[in-house]
Structure 1
Amino acid sequence: MPGARLTHEDRGRIAAWLADGLGYAEIGRRLGRPTSTISREVARNGAPGAYRPDQAQRAAGHRARRRGPRPTEAAADGQPTEAVRGFVDEFATLLAAAGLPRMTARVFVCLLTTDAGGLTAAELVRRLRVSPASVSKSIGYLEAMELVTRRMDAGGRRQRYLIDDDVWMRAWRADTGAHGEIAVAAQRGIEIFGAGSTAGARLDRMGHFFGRLSRQMSDSTLAEPAVDDALTVLAALVHAGRPLAPGALADALGWTRDRVAAALDAIRLHPAIADPLVLRAIEPETYTVAIRPDRLGGAQRQALEAIAR
């Protein structure tokens, strides 16, 4: 069963399927196991052409006897158990396949599976058995993505790195905003290359795809007053017919500048609010609105432009 140790029968099947030329992914699918479990099993016991199920089974039994009872997280010396290290490597492999650098993925999963106090850089080095430079680079990458935060330990001498409870919401919002920005950038590309060009057609399809993702991922829990303020700001920009700075919007609407700034932030974080419009920054602190690029295809825009002429 998934999650349990491989049996002798499983290993026999792996050997037979390797001999048939099947890849690790297909073998994992047939056994109901992650691809990383199969690749690690084969790498640990030779190579695809030299994998022997009987030998692999004896080696697994030896490892199990040597480890003895397994605590859930760390052994007496503070080091993670074999089971924890295996999980970190397996989960990191999945994250790496999704685009996260391999070493960064290992650091992230290590922090994800530790207690609420987080870990210092030195502790990460010991647990992962890597260089301080590798940990430092990975932490910088994760901080840039806002997936990791740092705090001083109780003695105030060392920094501890941890994953807080808001990380997934931040990641969700970052992805939502990024997808909306890609849709807008695709529209600019269409204007440069031309809607009838090969590049324009590709960018048009790309803009539609990422525009749909942005709408689907927008946070539907945004408070109603924030949505109302955002719509009012959009209406003001449409009515003005020209770019406006937040100060001018605040004066025209009779609001504080903070309220206008909050409304603009809501539109940027939740671009679906503006549908079928999109907020654009013309220059620092000056905003306008345009038609959302993924709402009209290239051929539709050309036909409408012809009518307008």
Structure 2
Amino acid sequence: MTQRDRDRIAAGLADGLAYAEIARRLDRPTSTITREVARNGGPAGYRPQQAHQATIQRARRGTPAPPRAATPLGGMEEELIEMAVGAGMPRMTARVHLDLVLSEDGRRTAAELTRRLKVSPASVSVAVNYLVQQGFVRRERDPQRRRDIYVVDDDAWYHSIVISERQTLETARATMAAAETYGLDSPVGQRLAKTGAFLERVSLDILESAGRWRALLA
């Protein structure tokens, strides 16, 4: 758990949030937040900087720190996860995605992801559903064992870009429709029309570029 995570826990406690809500905002199990607060002064006495330093001291003494749903990843992989989180992807989703990307054949079952990431099946399910919806991952069915296999292949980035830009195109066209409703000769209508035209043009350019360079993924 990072210093920033602990600062957010403290802010949540100050706002009177329940542990479950704090955990949801940090994309962590509720039990992790409960243990973190209990080990570091309780709800009334929790201080993020002191909690962070205490964890460092425990680690130096060889005392296990409050468990985090750890991955078998190194520093570079953790940095990639932080970059994905910074771009708006939920942390658990980023961890699942990266584990798939770094697998030998780009394939994992839900049970494998649960075991490797040491998280609940429900957490994996939520993450995978997001990845499938965004085109980063696809599902394949194992007919013999009646289970889903989650696959990230070389074409995944193309599909994710196409899905994203089609969503932006829908937004652009809805914006232009709103501009007509307000009237293209009104200030609001003109502003909306310019925004819609910009989004539409950029999205079409990106879709064209993605199709032109798709062969690089083959």
Shorter-chain TM-score category?
A: 0.5 to 0.7
The amino acid that maps onto 2:124 is V
Could you say which residue in structure 1 is the equivalent of 2:111? 122
Could you say which residue in structure 1 is the equivalent of 2:91? 102
**Selected match of 2:80 from 77, 91, 111:** 91
CA contact (8 A) 1:88 1:106 kept: no
Shift of 1:61: 6.3
Pick closer, same or farther for the CA change 1:105–1:196 going to 2, 3 Å.
farther
The amino acid that maps onto 1:108 is H
Looking at structure 2, the residues matched to 219 and 62 of structure 1 have their Cα atoms a distance apart, in angstroms, of 57
CA contact (8 A) 2:179 2:188 kept: yes
Q: Which SS does the other structure have where 1:219 is aligned?
A: helix
Could you say which residue in structure 2 is the equivalent of 1:195? 184
Shift of 1:215: 3.7
| Counterpart check, 1:208 vs 2:197 | yes
| RCO higher in structure (CA 8 A, sep ≥6) | 2
- State the Cα RMSD in Å: 3.9
Could you say which residue in structure 2 is the equivalent of 1:144? 133
**Selected match of 2:164 from 150, 164, 175:** 175
Shift of 1:220: 4.2
| Counterpart check, 1:163 vs 2:152 | yes
Could you say which residue in structure 1 is the equivalent of 2:16? none
Which structure 2 segments of 5+ residues have no match? Answer: 1-35, 41-46, 65-69, 213-218
Equivalent positions of 1:1-309 (< 5 A) are: 49-50=49-50, 80-81=71-72, 84=73, 87=76, 89-152=78-141, 156-157=144-145, 158-220=147-209
Pick closer, same or farther for the CA change 1:160–1:188 going to 2, 3 Å.
same
Shift of 1:120: 1.2
TM-score (structure 2 length as normaliser): 0.58
Shift of 1:147: 1.5
CA contact (8 A) 1:117 1:160 kept: no
Looking at structure 2, the residues matched to 96 and 61 of structure 1 have their Cα atoms a distance apart, in angstroms, of 28
Looking at structure 1, the residues matched to 98 and 80 of structure 2 have their Cα atoms a distance apart, in angstroms, of 7
More helix by share: 2
Q: Which SS does the other structure have where 1:156 is aligned?
A: coil
Pick closer, same or farther for the CA change 1:102–1:49 going to 2, 3 Å.
closer
Looking at structure 1, the residues matched to 168 and 130 of structure 2 have their Cα atoms a distance apart, in angstroms, of 20
CA contact (8 A) 1:151 1:160 kept: yes
Looking at structure 2, the residues matched to 177 and 220 of structure 1 have their Cα atoms a distance apart, in angstroms, of 14
Looking at structure 1, the residues matched to 52 and 177 of structure 2 have their Cα atoms a distance apart, in angstroms, of 57
Shift of 1:99: 2.5
Q: Which SS does the other structure have where 2:208 is aligned?
A: coil
**How many residues align structurally?**
167
Shift of 1:168: 0.8
CA contact (8 A) 1:180 1:210 kept: yes
Which structure 1 segments of 5+ residues have no match? Answer: 1-42, 67-78, 224-309
CA contact (8 A) 2:158 2:210 kept: no
TM-score (structure 1 length as normaliser): 0.43
Pick closer, same or farther for the CA change 1:80–1:218 going to 2, 3 Å.
closer
Looking at structure 2, the residues matched to 171 and 148 of structure 1 have their Cα atoms a distance apart, in angstroms, of 9
Looking at structure 2, the residues matched to 221 and 131 of structure 1 have their Cα atoms a distance apart, in angstroms, of 36
Could you say which residue in structure 2 is the equivalent of 1:251? none
